[in-house]
A and B are shown apart, each in its own frame.
Chain A
């Protein structure tokens, strides 16, 4: 019992078992998301909840992130040529990295938590068992709509975040740093690359998948009443956030090297 190697080994085996369970869950979730029957009404409701109602949060964070980014680059960079450097880095940073990552982290906090709490409560009050006894597959009825909605709406949210983030940078540059607005916009436009935006949107779809999957997975496996649901909610947000950052690193490596 007290052998430290045994403790490390047990923890590692536990981690592997958990990863295996999550992967199996992901496989089932994907399978049931793309095979009939589809509950279109539920899909629409989730698109509203996950996508539309996240707009204010995503918009605000993107705005302030873009503004802070412009300010930092100006302060830290060379004043000579700042007119070109600031818009260039803002547009690159927002579309490639900060737009998708910050928007996804915010949505993870909002949506993964809500999904885990809702599905977790349904689990501990036996509502998920009730679904099965009423000949309704919980994967199709509960998980597929959330998964599909998150994958579809995250890219749209990130597109909005890109626009508002760049606008935040523009506003700071023009009002605080005395940049010429027309020149700033021209520079932004010149440095805007389709690939940068598209890669960010691909990332966003993957992050959406991670967010919904972690919310559903932890909620679905929650145990033991209110405390269990609380733990599931925390775990959903933490694992979703870590996986988003890890996946971001992997995708950046794949796309840009």
Chain B
């Protein structure tokens, strides 16, 4: 091939849950080292797209290629191998509450890769320091932390094994604006430092502007607009316009019951 295959290539991805079509032919590519942000309203299929790429949900049809390799029909063990390329920050952080903070961060190293606990602990503490948390916090249990701190631990866990691709699921949801900005800064800093490819989903435009190289908007199971982050304000697309200005009036009609 003359030019390098995209890091992630998604083609005609479709998924329905019962009678409800969630993804209706999603197409996008992400180049290596690029940060793509997928924006869209609640329930438009953002999370399902991510979970399909991660192999947590099996798509009905379509193709997902990572580094040019098809990953939609892998066996469990092949999937585990592919998943080593990924790190994921979950919306609610999804920390294991039975484990200490540092054990959470080191989890992928110890369980996934069989690293010695002492060595994994050192790496975990380094990663925690990178997200601004000290060693004392590493000894706490996740339930003792605030939402913002849990997100930071989640970020440390996502980057612990130096993944090539990192996913962020609503990284700023549920945080105050300042903590949200702290998380955004951390995401930009860690992704740039590691040279990783990043895919984020969010409906927080401030966050999207800050962390995106490119933005794609998903609506009714399709990508309806895609372009450089700086072009988002001149998209010329009525749906994008309505979304980024957060207006209740426009082509997107919310099904709100009026009494």
Residues of chain A at the chain B interface (Cβ within 8 Å): 39, 122, 125-127, 129-130, 132-137, 141
Shortest CB distance B127–A (Å): 14
B96 and A127 form a contact (CB under 8 A): yes
A136 / chain B contacts, CB cutoff of 8 Å: 107-108, 111-112
Residues of chain B at the chain A interface (Cβ within 8 Å): 51, 54-56, 76, 79-81, 83-84, 86-88, 90-92, 94-97, 107-108, 111-113, 157
A125 / chain B contacts, CB cutoff of 8 Å: 92, 94
B87 / chain A contacts, CB cutoff of 8 Å: 133
A133 and B96 form a contact (CB under 8 A): no
- In the A-B complex, the 3 residue pairs with the smallest Cβ-Cβ separation, listed nearest first, are A135-B112, A134-B108, A126-B94
- Tell me the nearest residue of chain B to A127, going by C-beta: B94
B90 / chain A contacts, CB cutoff of 8 Å: 126, 129-130
- Tell me the nearest residue of chain B to A126, going by C-beta: B94
Of the candidates B81, B83, B91, B107, the one whose C-beta lies within 8 Å of that of A126 is B91
Q: Give A256 to B179 CA distance when docked, in angstroms.
A: 68
B94 and A132 form a contact (CB under 8 A): no
B94 / chain A contacts, CB cutoff of 8 Å: 125-127, 129-130
A133 and B83 form a contact (CB under 8 A): yes
Q: Give A135 to B95 CA distance when docked, in angstroms.
A: 15
Shortest CB distance B241–A (Å): 32
Of the candidates B80, B88, B91, B96, the one whose C-beta lies within 8 Å of that of A137 is B80
B54 / chain A contacts, CB cutoff of 8 Å: 129, 132-133
Q: Give A135 to B55 CA distance when docked, in angstroms.
A: 11
26 A-B residue pairs with CB within 8 Å: A122-B96, A125-B94, A129-B51, A129-B88, A129-B90, A130-B94, A130-B96, A132-B54, A132-B55, A132-B79, A133-B56, A133-B86, A134-B83, A134-B112, A134-B157, A135-B83, A135-B84, A135-B108, A135-B111, A135-B112, A135-B113, A136-B107, A136-B108, A136-B112, A137-B80, A141-B111
